[in-house]
Every structure is written in C-alpha cells, then in structure tokens.
Amino acid sequence: MQFSVTILGSNSALPTSERFPTAQVLNASERFFLIDCGEGTQLQLRRNKIRFNRINHIFISHLHGDHCFGLIGLISTFSLLGRKPDLHIYGHEDLQRVMQPQIDYFCREISFKVVFHSIEPSKSDVIYEDEKISVETIPMKHRIPTCGFLFREKPRKKHVIRDMLDFYQVPLKSIPLIKNGEDFITSEGEVVPNEKLTKPAAPPRSYAFCSDTAYNEKIIDQIRGVDLMYHEATFLDEKESLAKSTFHSTARQAGLLALKAEVKKLIIGHFSTRYFDLDPFQQQAQSVFPNTQLAKEGRIFEIPYIPNL
C-alpha cells in the first residue's frame, strides 16, 4: 500500500555537481509515475534503484529544458533495453512536435510505442485515471504554459467485519454489495445496517506537485488538505522581486500557500544555483509552515497507509 515520492532532482535550470534538474517518481502501490524529466534523470533512477521498466507514464509540467531535456535519452535507453509496453507521456501539445523528430532520428528502430497525450495547462482536467488513482492538472502561473499535477487515490471499499458476517450468516454473494455500502436483509426480513457489518476504509491519500510558478492563491481550493505538497521555492526572501519578475516563488511564499491550503506536509525544491547552503530555504518556509522539508536528491517522502481500526 505504498504511496511515496522519491526526489531525483531538486535544482532549477543550471545543474550542480550535487543537484540535478527537476524529476520525481511517485510510487502508488507499486505503480511508478515519473514527474518531469530533467537531465540526469536516468542516472538518478539508477542511483535510487528504480527499475526503468516500472515506468509507464511520464508527466511533463512545461517545456523548459530543465523539466524535459532528459526525455530523449530515457526513451532511447528504454529501446536499448528492449522495452515492449507503450510509454505514455502527458504534456503541452508542443511536446510531441518537439520530441517526435528526435525519436524518428535517434530511435529509428524503437521497440515500443510512445503515446503522447496533449494537455491544456491553463485549466484543471483529469488527464489519467485507473481503478486506483486519478491525476488532474493544476494551472500554474509561469512564463510559458505550465501545470502541476494532483495525484489522488480513489476511495477504497469498506472493510467487512468477519465476525458480524458470520453472526448474520451473510452469503458470499452479498459481500461485494456490503463493501459498497448497502445494508443486508436476512432471510427473516431483518434489515442489518451497513455500519454494523463494516468499518471505514483507510482514507485516500493525495500528492500535489506544484511546478514552476509565481505565488498563486487561485489553486488553493484545488489542493486544499492534500497529504503532501511539493512547491517550487527558487529564491529566498531577499530575491522576492526577482521571483516575481521571473514568475517563480520564494520559500516563504511556498510556506504561506501551504498554510492557506491547509496541506499536511510541504516539501520545497527547484532551488536557484546561486545558493549553496539550502538550510535558509527550510528556515524561511518553516517560519510560516513548520511541517516543511527540503526536496533533496534521494529523499523519499512517504504518506503512510493508516487503516481505520
């Protein structure tokens, strides 16, 4: 029942010897979703022992190089490894226009199909959905069309209380209906309320990835109460005017948004290369929102599965 985020890259446009451009992997019950793909993503996947063949869906927040320059290399490696399943990539419509000529040139004998899904970053849409999770876009405020991604587990079915099922002699065919919330009617016509037969399932977990953006309170309602939020924090307070002019955020602004959105935990990243010491980022964000940590390379942030007892 794992639901965790592994940080592959935490830096902004210029990589350093220790910090890579943006990339993350969300593990949702052993399904792996790659979020952005800056240079060095392949190396970081290897370092963090994430198997390449587990990644079937890639989400690209916007078409600045530090968020997508690693794509063609990763696709090429997938082909060299003999990948067979389709690879689904979600991004602005221009992404396919940019990538397809590279794929045609560098990956002429590609062993799998690359399926591009065009998204509209300026509005919130569900862009992926399966039986366990949904992914929707979060409009960002940046220099070019940009979106974040909100990953939500779907509500689980209720847990049945085995002793009560035995007591009321509930047949097997009725159990799926009870898990879906229906009452049970005995052979004598007695109605047994569902709450006597079940206990609530663990609450669904959620992760909001807020990519490059200026401070933007318009997204608060959409991300309100999420278990974990990543928010860019390119600059410290003394560069707030630069953050505004470049459509980025400061660490304190990220903390303020987390506070107003009542999120449970905040991680910050996309640090400007001008900063070597990252502790002030954590300090400034924590001055507003105490439950803040730095999204450093190799860190894993897990949202625990908490069953209702």
Report which DSSP code applies to 162.
H
What backbone phi and psi angles, to 5 degrees, belong to 90? Answer: -115, 125
184-185 vs 206-210, strand pairing mode? unpaired
Q: Does residue 104 carry a catalytic annotation?
A: no
142 is annotated as contributing to ligand binding: yes
67 is annotated as contributing to ligand binding: yes
92 is annotated as contributing to ligand binding: no
88 is annotated as contributing to ligand binding: no
Q: Where does 70-167 have alpha helices with state H? A: 71-80, 94-106, 162-167
DSSP per position, 220-286: HHHHTT-SEEEEE--B-GGGHHHHHHTT--BHHHHHHHHHHHT-S-EEEE-B-TT-S--HHHHHHHH
64 is annotated as contributing to ligand binding: yes
Locus of tokens 């640090």: 271
Distance CA 178, CA 127 (A): 31
Find the catalytic residue in 36, 66, 125, 163: 66
212 is annotated as contributing to ligand binding: yes
Q: Is the dihedral of CA 53, 57, 59, 64 positive or negative?
A: positive
Q: Which of 211, 212, 291, 309 is nearest to 255 (CA)?
A: 291
Tell me how far CA of residue 3 lies from CA of 29, 33, 44, 61, in angstroms: 6, 11, 19, 21
Length of the chain: 309
231 is annotated as contributing to ligand binding: no
Report which DSSP code applies to 54.
G
Q: Which residues are annotated as a binding site?
A: 62, 64, 66-67, 142, 212, 270
Q: Which residues are annotated as a binding site for Zn(2+)?
A: 62, 64, 66-67, 142, 212, 270
Active site residues per annotation: 66
